[in-house]
Amino acid sequence: MNNSQISLWNYLREFTRVYLLISINLTVLMVICLVFLDVLLPLQWIAYVVRLSIGANIGKSFYSKHKQHPNTKALVKLAVFCCLIAFIIDGVSAYLSLPNLDRMFESPFWALSILLVTQTSSFGLIWCGLKQGMRAAEKAEIDCIS
């Protein structure tokens, strides 16, 4: 199958489903720990680990299904759309959980710089996760054959 014939929608749906479920579960866990145990969990960096691991799982399933690496354009497109999905989910959850969010972004310069840094790192982590998952699936297949 040619790379241009591979649909990325299934992988975007998988990323959305898993990322949304993990985000909801982490929010529920944080609320339970805060309300019942009076403990604030330091989970501010967990979203980056989640993006890398979901990217690796999607890369592994992509390679397992198609037995090839996508071309660079398709890989970048998949990473950009996954990054956009993560941005939307994180934006909605931040808006719902932070009532003073408008005060945080009084300066457009700071708002744009924070957005640029977080989305660049998010894209990089998702892209690296996709590549890592594809390499791991390829290596597992080679080890299985030999």
Cβ–Cβ < 8 Å for 12, 81: yes
Residue 55 has which token pair? 């990217």
pLDDT one-digit tens code per residue, 4-56: 567 889 999 999 999 999 988 988 888 888 888 888 877 778 888 999 999 99
pTM above 0.95, yes or no: no
In terms of Cβ atoms closer than 10 Å to its own Cβ (0-12, 13-18, 19+), residue 98 is exposed
pLDDT one-digit tens code per residue, 64-93: 998 888 888 999 999 999 999 998 988 887
pLDDT one-digit tens code per residue, 96-113: 766 666 666 677 777 778
DSSP string, 15-58: HHHHHHHHHHHHHHHHHHHHHHS------TTHHHHHHHHHHHHH
Residue 136, C-beta contacts closer than 8 angstroms, at least 6 positions apart: 56, 59, 60
